[in-house]
Structure 1
Amino acid sequence: MAYLLMLFHKVYSHPTSQQWVVFIHGAGGSSSLWFKQIKEYRQHFNLLLVDLRGHGKSKRGPKEWLLKPYQFADVAQDVIHVIDHLSIEKAHFVAMSLGTIIVRTIAQLVPERVESMVMGGAVMQFNLRSRILVKIGDWCKNIVPYMWLYQLFAHVVMPDKHQKESRHLFIREAKKLCQKEFKRWYRLTAEAHALMGHFRETELPIPTLYLMGERDHLFLPAIRKMLSTHRCSQLIELSNCGHVCNIEQSEAFNHHSIRFLLHQ
């Protein structure tokens, strides 16, 4: 694949550590949504934050991004290109929401580059409610302004009052997407069913921590079921927390994830 433009990325260097952590946000977000992690993480690791194609400051890209649909493997290769550019041989990966599918795809493509994975608010299966929501969005995406759909999704995924900050941040970042880019990412979501099925059935021998909010009713049950057969993975459920656990319970998220990474 020819790269005409690299993803926007930001590096925080550690004076002595040789370990890297790469942060991958979810659909509609940007690297700015990791603001509650940077201070704690940079005490231990070198950090790499990226804006995925079409998101944040990676909004403008090469014509290939604009003229044809793409798959999760293409988005994963974008990230691999950045770590190649920075000569990062191996890294820990921390992801949120649909970003967990991208990290799992990176691990599938280049497992030797992945030291461990922290999967926050992991999406590994759509339940009936979320499948209906995706289907409704698919019917409406060409006639309804995308921000209406995104605000609907945000309220379904993050319905509680204490999730107001998370909803606000994700809706704010989603406004930076254009309608065409939203449709491309929506198509990715709609086509993710088979990919997630493969990930549930096939565990890689890479240490993995799933951090899920106990109130993440759309996605937590599938993770519980999946981990009953996965041996290299563990699950921690964060109390009083929904889907976007790195924001809603940032202190607990940082404590558990950093402790996990330091022991790998």
Structure 2
Amino acid sequence: MENIIASLPATQYFTTGDGVRIAYELEGETGNPVLVLSNSIATDYHMWDVQMPAFTRFFQVLRFDTRGNGASGAPAGDYSINRMALDVIELLDHLGIEKAHFLGLSLGGFIGQYLAIHTPERIDKLVLANTSSYLGPQAYFNKQIKSLQEGATMDGFADMFIHNWFPAAMISNGDSRVAPFRDMVLNTPPLGLAGSFAAVRDGDLRKTAALIPHATLIIGGQYDTVTLPEHSELLAATIVNSSLTILPVVHLSNIESSERFNELVIDFLQD
């Protein structure tokens, strides 16, 4: 199978086997290696906007909204990393893409690990940014899910995520990079956020991550309070063919240190 779909520079949609509509965008020169970008929880694919000018110089970039997030469908019930990974495989099949590099940040990193473990033939090189092979405790996620099921507004979640994602100085100084992410959280369907919390709650790849055969770049955040630096170090110790870089950032390393992030990713994928 060859990459047969030309660049599509606007939002497109396809429907998964279980009936969920997934929003995606394919941008860049046809014939370049494909790079798939996978998002953090409670964001949409525009979280990668700052990367696009650099990445599309070298890659055909496929980015999408994870089920339950952004403009993709948000079915009721618990989601799983397994089903989220299958969404990616079905999207690649829909576009006629046999193999691609994969860059996942946070929740996207869980998806990337699962794909590399269970469908290694579909992944070329792997980048795992600000992610983990396990996040607990389960009680924390159950509490968040319960509050969403009981009608909690997204405002409180927006405050929580913003303070988890960015340094205090960026928030207090009104940095223009922060506001779009608050809007992304506010636009996340509550059912989708609850389902996504369940996927993270139930995802435990600590043992199976050792099966990842791919060349893997791991990017961590020195000040990340969600996916701690120790989580990145554990991934690097588990995945045999991996390298680790810890940046002086909080959680959204692609935003807070975009130039260095872009450089690391491009150099790794082109090496």
TM-score range, shorter chain: 0.7 to 0.9
The equivalent of 1:137 in structure 2 is 144
Normalised by the length of structure 2, the TM-score is 0.82
Taking the aligned partners of 1:150 and 1:133, their CA distance within structure 2 comes to 17
Aligned residue for 1:223?
Answer: 232
User: Shift in Å at residue 13 of structure 1?
Assistant: 2.8
Give the aligned partner of residue 191 of structure 2: 180
In structure 1, distance between residues paired with 2:166 and 2:139? 17
Question: Cα distance 1:227–1:165, how it changes in 2: closer, same or farther (>3 A)?
Answer: farther
Query: Structure 1 length normalisation: TM-score?
Result: 0.84
CA distance in 1, matches of 2:142, 2:30: 49
Deviation at residue 167 of structure 1 after TM alignment: 4.7
Q: Is this contact kept in 2: 1:127–1:218, CA < 8 A?
A: no
The Cα offsets for residues 38-60 of structure 1, whole Å up to 9 and x where unpaired, read as: 0001111111111111222214x
| 1:225 counterpart letter in structure 2 | L
Deviations 1:3-35, CA, capped at 9 Å, x for gaps: 545421111131552x11011111111110101
Aligned to 1:207: 215
Residue 26 (structure 2) aligns with:
11
Residue by residue over 1:172-225, the C-alpha shift from the partner in whole angstroms, topping out at 9 and shown as x without a partner, is: 112222222222112222222xx233345x241111101122222442112213
Are the structure 2 counterparts of residues 126 and 66 from structure 1 closer, same or farther at C-alpha, using a change threshold of 3 Å?
Answer: closer
SS at match of 2:50: coil
**Kept in 1: contact 2:31–2:60 (CA 8 A):** no
Q: 2:260 aligns with which of 252, 256, 260?
A: 252
SS at match of 1:125: coil
SS in 1 for 2:149: coil
How many residues align? The count is 251
| C-alpha RMSD over aligned residues | 2.4
CA pair 26-199 structure 1, distance change in 2 beyond 3 A: farther
The 1:189/1:226 distance shift into structure 2, 3 A limit, reads closer
Mapped partners of 2:143, 2:20: distance in 1? 34
CA contact (8 A) 1:119 1:210 kept: yes
Q: Which moved more, 1:153-162 or 1:33-42?
A: 153-162
Secondary structure at the aligned position of 2:206 is classed as helix
Kindly indicate whether residue 49 of structure 2 is the aligned counterpart of residue 41 of structure 1.
no
Whole-Å separation in 2 of the counterparts to 1:188 and 1:5: 16
AA in 2 matched with 1:100 = G
Partner Cα distance (2:235, 2:167) in 1: 25
SS at match of 2:267: helix
1:127–1:157 Cα change, 3 Å: farther
Structure-2 change in CA distance of 1:229 and 1:142 (3 Å) = closer
Q: Does 1:110 align with 2:119?
A: yes
Q: Report how far residue 257 of structure 1 moved.
A: 0.5
Q: String of CA shifts for 1:91-120, please: whole Å, max 9, x gaps.
A: 000111111001111222311010011111
Match of 1:170 among 172, 177, 181: 181
Q: Are 1:95 and 2:109 counterparts?
A: no
> What are the equivalent positions in structure 2 for 1:148-159 lying under 5 Å apart?
148-159=156-167
CA contact (8 A) 1:100 1:122 kept: yes
